[in-house]
Amino acid sequence: MNKVLTNGFILIVDDNPTNLSVLSEALASEGWRFRVAVDGESAIAQAERNQPELILLDVQMPGIDGFETCRRLKANPITQNVPIIFTTALTDTESKIKGFSLGAVDYIPKPFAQEEVIARVRVHLQLQQLTQSLEQQVSDRTNALEKAQVQLVQQEKLSTLGELIAGIAHEMNNPISFIINNIPPLKEYIAAITELLQLYEQEYPTPTTKITTFIKNLDLTFVIEDLVKILSSIQVGSERIQHLSTSLRSFSRSDSDTKLPADLHLGMDSTLMILQHRLKPNGDRPGIEVMRCYGKIPSVNCYVGEMNQVFMNLLANAIDALDEAIVQGKMCDRIPQIHITTDMNSQQMVVIKIADNGIGIPERLKQRLFEPLFTTKPVGKGTGLGLSIAHQIIVEKHNGTMEVNSQPGKGTEFSIAIPI
Ligand SMILES: Nc1ncnc2c1ncn2[C@@H]1O[C@H](COP(=O)(O)OP(=O)(O)OP(=O)(O)O)[C@@H](O)[C@H]1O
Ligand SMILES: [Mg+2]
């Protein structure tokens, strides 16, 4: 039972030596630590310096009385939460009410009965500790809730964004198909018309002046040559848009409630396609080389959209790590690279590794990486949710594992394993 006072102490405030010795004896008999103040002012100063767990406060003292001392303690943010018990010979109701109205939690009448002192002190120490632990629990839960909320909002945003992208990609598909499907007949027609023109030239070698002038002004030979080039670039361009639209759709494929077999290489490729703009050379930074070593892996039963989200987060982090290494001038001796390897392991799990040769991760930060909201990036750049979401998707939703290996200054490798 003595445990109720573990590290703290009780402050006794009384100017009367007899009272002090009775109270100290009572507290000491329980093994409780205590300190003593003989007037209100020094009690306040002590309590400010070192907060006691409880204060036993005499009412009638020279200088400021117990009521005033109590009022000042309660008005001070540092001491306001320390419970105060009045010790008083004044048993009239008015004084008791005044004590309670000033914020006291109890009173002990004088002369003291040792058992009563101990019993009342014990109750209030326990109450105080319960309150503290409740406050701690409430604040822990509030923190956890806040984190969960941020995560939910983030996921909700991503899924809305995903639907939007899928919708746009779908709408893009029709007009692109018109263009792509019409290019072959267009090429044919133009070839035929060109042939017809040549035929005219052969059959009518001397046309009228009006026609010769027109041909000369037009620069017909150039136009015919250029027409073919223009058609080819239209074809290449529209094929690229079509490719992008397919990637966007497969990347943001809205997830069904059940897992479906999926080709993870396809997901990885569409994610890379979407990140293309970040891989290209920009400003002082050379382009990032992406090396893909895809092994033979079967389809994996998974939530495709979420797996793509994992790839996106890992690749975006790798690109950030390379950018940062360049900013810090650490890439002078090497080309920025990302290696992606896929394979099966001995436990029939698909293993995907994404490695970069960027800044790496200091040892002391490693165990915090998967914490929600942990980030080393400036405000506005990173939310610190990428890895925690990825970890949740891999470990909780797919029964997989996610590990990190890093050499500070050399690079980082994230390794995911998921059961097929
Ligand atoms: N490939 C990597 N190389 C070096 N550090 C990394 C790498 N991946 C993650 N980190 C470190 O882990 C931290 C947490 O990553 P996480 O993806 O969770 O958040 P973030 O990238 O900071 O923000 P965001 O929510 O935008 O992803 C990063 O801030 C970074 O310090
Ligand atoms: Mg990130």
> Which protein residues touch ligand 1 with a CB less than 6 Å away?
313, 317-318, 321, 356, 358-361, 369, 374-377, 382-388, 412
- By most ligand atoms within 8 Å of CB, the mutation choice from 377, 394, 404, 412 for ligand 1 is 377
Residue for token pair 């105060």: 84
CB atoms within 10 A of CB 352: 28
- Nearest ligand, CA 381: 1
Q: Model confidence at 1, in pLDDT bands (50, 70, 90)?
A: very low
- Nearest ligand, CA 316: 2
- The whole-number pLDDT of residue 253 equals 64
Instruction: Tell me which of 38-47, 142-151, 170-179 is least confident.
Output: 142-151
| Closest CA relative to residue 411, chosen from 368, 354, 372 | 354
- Nearest ligand, CA 389: 1
Can you say whether the dihedral through the CA atoms of 389, 393, 396, 397 is positive or negative?
Answer: positive
| Closest CA relative to residue 287, chosen from 321, 313, 323 | 323
Judge contact between 64 and 39, C-beta under 8 A: yes
CA 255 / ligand 1 centre spacing (Å)? 25
- The whole-number pLDDT of residue 350 equals 97
- The whole-number pLDDT of residue 256 equals 60
Residue for token pair 């990347």: 251
CA 323 / ligand 2 centre spacing (Å)? 13
**The whole model's pTM is what?**
0.64
How many CA atoms does the CB half-sphere of 151 hold within 13 Å?
20
- By most ligand atoms within 8 Å of CB, the mutation choice from 324, 330, 374, 375 for ligand 1 is 375
Q: Model confidence at 332, in pLDDT bands (50, 70, 90)?
A: confident
Residue 88: pLDDT over 90: no
- With a pLDDT cut of 90, the percent of the chain lying above it is 66
Q: Model confidence at 389, in pLDDT bands (50, 70, 90)?
A: confident
- By most ligand atoms within 8 Å of CB, the mutation choice from 161, 317, 364 for ligand 1 is 317
- The whole-number pLDDT of residue 2 equals 44
Rounded to an integer, the average pLDDT of 182-203 is 94
CA 312 / ligand 2 centre spacing (Å)? 9
User: 2: phi > 0 → left, psi -120 to 50 → alpha, else beta; which?
Assistant: alpha
From the CA of 376, give the closest atom in ligand 1: 29
How many Å apart are CA 184 and CA 234, to the nearest integer? 11
- The whole-number pLDDT of residue 6 equals 64
- The whole-number pLDDT of residue 371 equals 87
From the CA of 154, give the closest atom in ligand 1: 25
From the CA of 388, give the closest atom in ligand 1: 18
Q: Model confidence at 4, in pLDDT bands (50, 70, 90)?
A: low
Residue ID of nearest Cα to ligand 1 atom 7:
317
Rounded to an integer, the average pLDDT of 96-105 is 92
CA 274 / ligand 2 centre spacing (Å)? 16
Residue 99: pLDDT over 60: yes
Is the omega angle on the peptide bond into residue 175 within 30 degrees of 0, that is, cis?
no
Instruction: Tell me which of 112-116, 371-375, 391-395, 413-417 is least confident.
Output: 371-375
Residue 254: pLDDT over 70: no
Instruction: Tell me which of 45-59, 129-143, 144-158, 188-202 is least confident.
Output: 144-158
CA 316 / ligand 2 centre spacing (Å)? 6
| pLDDT tens sequence across 300-317 | 999 888 898 899 999 999
- Nearest ligand, CA 383: 1
| pLDDT tens sequence across 277-300 | 899 998 778 899 999 999 999 999
Residue ID of nearest Cα to ligand 1 atom 17:
386
Name the average pLDDT for the chain. 90
CA 244 / ligand 1 centre spacing (Å)? 27
| Closest CA relative to residue 288, chosen from 252, 313, 325 | 325
Q: Model confidence at 255, in pLDDT bands (50, 70, 90)?
A: low
From the CA of 354, give the closest atom in ligand 1: 1
How many Å apart are CA 112 and CA 33, to the nearest integer? 19
CA 278 / ligand 1 centre spacing (Å)? 16
CA 369 / ligand 1 centre spacing (Å)? 7
How many Å apart are CA 308 and CA 310, to the nearest integer? 5
Rounded to an integer, the average pLDDT of 36-44 is 96
Q: And the tokens for 367? A: 């165990």
- Nearest ligand, CA 370: 1
- Mapping DSSP onto H, E and C, the string for the chain reads CHHHCCCCCEEEECCCHHHHHHHHHHHHHCCCCEEEECCHHHHHHHHHHCCCCEEEEECCCCCCCHHHHHHHHHHCCCCCCCCEEEEECCCCHHHHHHHHHCCCCEEEECCCCHHHHHHHHHHHHHHHHHHHHHHHHHHHHHHHHHHHHHHHHHHHHHHHHHHHHHHHHHHHHHHHHHHHHHHHHHHHHHHHHHHHHHHHHHHCCCCCHHHHHHHHHHCHHHHHHHHHHHHHHHHHHHHHHHHHHHHHHHHCCCCCCCCEEECHHHHHHHHHHHCHHHHCCECCECCCEEEEECCCCCCEEECHHHHHHHHHHHHHHHHHHHHHHHHCCCCCCCCCEEEEEEEECCCCEEEEEEEECCCCCCHHHHHHCCCCCCCCCCCCCCCCCHHHHHHHHHHHHHCCEEEEEEECCCEEEEEEEEEC
CA 61 / ligand 1 centre spacing (Å)? 62
- By most ligand atoms within 8 Å of CB, the mutation choice from 157, 323, 374, 387 for ligand 1 is 387
Residue 202: pLDDT over 60: yes
